[in-house]
Chains A and B, each alone.
Chain A
Amino acid sequence: EIVLTQSPATLSLSPGERATLSCRASQSISSYLAWYQQKPGQAPRLLIYDASNRATGIPARFSGSGSGTDFTLTISSLEPEDFAVYYCQQRSNWPLTFGGGTNVEIK
């Protein structure tokens, strides 16, 4: 099973600041990584697929990068609606796995 480790667990930032979230895989997953955003009481929403492709309707302030074992989600300038929990997920091998999440909270 491929283990995804997200860091940090919590990120405290102010609106307008840049957010950098990390996801590390226990073995190479090529570019088969997605990022999701989840707000309280809501279903997750796909932001980025295959490491760097924005999903439909996702603003350009969200970007993804990386390949192999190290991946990054960057939010260039935090909007109030961006404070949420973010998960990464790999589709390289079964079982599909998620990271433990990063909580982006208002400082």
Chain B
Amino acid sequence: EVQLVESGGGLVKPGGSLRLSCAASGFTFSSYTMNWVRQAPGKGLEWVSSISSSSSYIYYADSVKGRFTISRDNAKNSLYLQMNSLRVEDTAVYYCARGNSWYPHFDYWGQGALVTVSS
């Protein structure tokens, strides 16, 4: 059974940093594109970032470029999102999602990690 479990969410002040992790199991992690998608409270879904299976290719949404860094450790079956210079508008549930190809649809999702940016 495919499982994705996010951790690391919490409350942080504007300008602060946070690192999200996603632990994957039930599939060959090193073979899949992995992604972060977020959802602000009461709003729709927003793609944040994608990383290819070998970390060769990485894309970011313009809204987070230069502030967020996606990475993965295939030996640990883990995906990460380092979030720096956080803004109030980054407040959201952050989902880890598996991609079904390099230009992905998202076929499995974690339960989400809430990040709240507030003073």
Contacts and interface: CB of A to CB of B under 8 A. Distances in A.
A97 interface: yes
Given A94-B59, A95-B61, A101-B44, A43 B111 contact: yes
Interface stretch (A18-26, A66-74, A85-93): A85-93
B94 to A, nearest CB: 11
Interface stretch (B10-18, B69-77, B83-91, B101-109): B101-109
A32 B44 contact: no
Interface residues of B, number: 22
Contact of B45 (A44, A45, A92): A44
A89 B35 CA distance: 14
A32 B101 CA distance: 11
| A-side interface size class | 20 to 34
B19 to A, nearest CB: 21
B45 A89 contact: yes
Contacts of B37: 44
A56 to B, nearest CB: 8
A11 interface: no
A55 B45 contact: no
A96 B44 contact: no
Given A43-B95, A96-B50, A101-B44, A91 B101 contact: yes
